[in-house]
Amino acid sequence: MATNPPPAKKILGTVVFLVGLVGAGVGIYTLDVVAAVVWLVVATLSGFYLLKLRADSRSRLDSST
């Protein structure tokens, strides 16, 4: 059965994703490699979380694991 995630989780995930992208852009602009990498990791992890929410809402994940 498909369940929709609460809107707060989706909004928070999207905001964290966008903040990660903006932070990475600022890190690249200021030539700060560590900051750019940290923000890219934040954006990547939040992107994975958003993909998981999407898969859960469409019942595409195997729940037996």
With a CB cutoff of 8 Å and minimum separation 6, the contacts of 15 are: none
| Residue 28 belongs to some domain of the structure | yes
* Residue 63 within a domain: no
Q: Residue 64: pLDDT above 70?
A: no
Domain membership of residue 1 (yes or no) is no
**Model-level pTM?**
0.81
Q: Would you say residue 2 lies in a domain?
A: no
pLDDT tens track for 9-59: 999 999 999 999 999 999 999 999 999 999 999 999 999 999 999 988 888
Domain count, the chain: 1
pLDDT value of residue 39: 97
Give residue for tokens 């995930």: 13
Confidence category of residue 2, pLDDT binned at 50, 70, 90: low
Q: Are 7 and 57 in contact (CB under 8 A)?
A: no
Which residue segment(s) compose the domain that 24 sits in?
7-57
| Residue 41: per-residue pLDDT | 97
Do the beta carbons of residue 2 and residue 58 sit within 8 Å?
yes
- Residue 62 within a domain: no
Let me know: does 49 contact 37? Beta carbons within 8 Å.
Answer: no
